[in-house]
Amino acid sequence: MNNNKRQILVIVEGSKTDYNLMTHLLNIYGISKNHNVVAYDTNIYSLYNVVFANGEPDSIDILQSLKEHEKDLRKKQIFDQRYTDILLIFDFDPQDPNFAPEKIIEMSNFFIESSDMGKLYLNYPMVEAFYHMKSIPDDDYNTYNVSMEELQNHLYKARVSRENRNHDYRKFAANKFECNIVIKQNIIKANYIAGSKNTIENVLPQAIDILNSQLMSMKNNNLISVLSTCVFYIFDYNPNLLND
């Protein structure tokens, strides 16, 4: 399908960092006109309860289900519109009391196609991963992990603020050249995490392979590799956008 004819709903978890980041990326790459970004203001595990509550996710209309649980009248109207694609941008958040590997695996296997039920992009451990670089590029980025202890004690966001190049998200990757570098570094790291032979910047591994590797690292080492996957949407939309 011609990208110019697509109408794309981008559902993000939060109304601040998540919303601002996706809006920034869409603007940077000049593709914001056919995208509608809306904050769902709840996490992936609440979304799980909405979609999988009756055990038959294939039978639901996801937009109408989200509308039923939405209190904001303006957002309810957004869910009534027609879209060619749906994106779900959420955090992994393994410290959440409702976290369960089987839930996140089920969702990752279900939300795989943006033009069908929607495509899920999970940030590890959360959206702040995009900003977790001391420089652009950051030669040490592949080594960055976060411990379960950090997440349980709510220390990760403060760590990112300390270790971020600018200590100000608004100044980080403020142009297309720097965004290209950040996205390519995350693609390379994703391949590394997934154990792919492709440790290059123009091949994306399967999301489920990344997830399984992260779950194994949690089980064995209580560690999650820092990874921003929401940026992969730019590559999915048009890989040539990263060549300029």
- The band of 199, judged by pLDDT with boundaries at 50, 70 and 90, is low
pLDDT > 70 fraction of the chain, expressed in percent and rounded: 95
* pTM for the model: 0.93
pLDDT tens for residues 27-44?
999 999 999 999 988 899
| Segments making up each domain of the chain, as ranges | 3-242
Q: CA separation (Å) from 196 to 103, 200, 204, 207, 232?
A: 24, 10, 9, 12, 16
Evaluate the CA torsion angle 217, 219, 221, 223 in order and state its sign: positive
* Span between the terminal Cα atoms of the chain, in Å: 22
Please tell me the distance from the alpha carbon of residue 187 to that of residue 225, in angstroms, as a whole number: 13
